[in-house]
């Protein structure tokens, strides 16, 4: 296999959670462009239709599944339908996530639980289900989508979001330690910096631009830059990389 061939996902089957908008759509399309067949899931399946059509037009198999990743039974169903329709699971992009911003003394307990349930518990439940299927296939790659806010702050009151993304780092390391040698399943995480998405639309107007003083690259990230990093971690190009946190942040964490 040549170096360039090692980045190919030809013959692979990937699951992308939270694929109804923003970065999730970019991940799903990017994995298909790299050669993978793709299962996409989100809580509202009708929002997956345009992504499903785009992947079909690339000539790849694709299924769309309704799922709330905070429910273990939904995660298991996504994997079961992927195996039944696409033949197995090789890659999981744990992208589903939500954010909240509320002062810690006034944050509603249910809102805090919701963020942790989806961002952390959902990533774990999906990894559990996908890991079982990957083990039957001889291995695979799990890419958890964390955030630089697992290692720093955004100068906003986001205790729930920051806590959940910090926990993703620990989850990634532990699953890598458990599964890499025993099951040939590599587990890594991406830590995106400032990218425009449906989530950042909730921020105050002009907020992202104001934060650029923290970014040595001096600009926001483009979704394609994050997708390229995900393809690296999903593919054989990163065959000796596991338990790693890869910041894609224009240098924010070194500033």
- Active site includes 207? no
The pLDDT of residue 204 is 67
Identify the domain containing residue 165 by its residue range.
5-248
In-domain check, residue 86: yes
Catalytic residue among 161, 203, 207, 240: 161
In-domain check, residue 220: yes
Query: How do residues 25-63 score in pLDDT, each as one tens digit?
Result: 999 999 999 999 999 999 888 889 999 999 999 999 999
Residue, of 172 and 209, whose pLDDT is higher? 172
Counting the structural domains of the chain, the total is 1
The CATH number that applies at residue 233 is 3.40.50.720
The pLDDT of residue 201 is 64
Task: Provide the whole-model pTM.
Answer: 0.95
Question: Does 198 score more than 70 pLDDT?
Answer: no
In-domain check, residue 253: no
State the average pLDDT for the chain: 93
Alpha-carbon torsion 173, 175, 178, 180, what sign?
A: negative
The pLDDT of residue 219 is 92
In-domain check, residue 99: yes
Average pLDDT over residues 237-254: 96
In-domain check, residue 254: no
In-domain check, residue 255: no
């Amino acid at each position: 296999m040549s170096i360039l061939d090692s980045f190919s996902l030809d013959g692979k089957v990937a699951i992308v959670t939270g694929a109804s908008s923003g970065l999730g759509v970019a991940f799903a399309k990017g994995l298909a462009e790299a050669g993978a067949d793709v299962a996409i899931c989100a809580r509202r399946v009708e929002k997956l239709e345009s992504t499903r059509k785009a992947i079909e037009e690339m000539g790849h198999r694709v299924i769309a599944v309704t799922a709330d990743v905070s429910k273990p039974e939904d995660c298991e169903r996504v994997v079961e339908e992927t195996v039944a329709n696409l033949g197995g699971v090789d890659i999981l992009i744990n992208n589903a996530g939500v954010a909240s911003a509320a002062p810690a003394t006034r944050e509603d307990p249910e809102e805090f639980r919701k963020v942790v349930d989806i961002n952390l518990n959902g990533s774990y439940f999906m990894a559990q289900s996908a890991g079982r299927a990957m083990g039957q296939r001889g291995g695979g790659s799990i890419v958890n989508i964390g955030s630089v806010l697992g290692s720093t702050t955004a100068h906003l009151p986001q205790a729930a979001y920051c806590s959940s993304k910090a926990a993703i780092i620990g989850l990634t390391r532990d699953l890598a330690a458990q599964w890499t040698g025993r099951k040939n399943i590599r587990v890594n995480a991406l830590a995106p910096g400032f990218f425009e998405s449906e989530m950042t639309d909730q921020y105050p107007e002009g907020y992202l631009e104001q934060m650029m003083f923290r970014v040595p690259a001096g600009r926001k990230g483009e979704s394609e830059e994050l997708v390229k990093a995900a393809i690296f971690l999903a593919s054989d190009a990163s065959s000796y990389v596991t338990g790693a946190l890869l910041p894609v942040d224009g240098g924010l964490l070194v500033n």
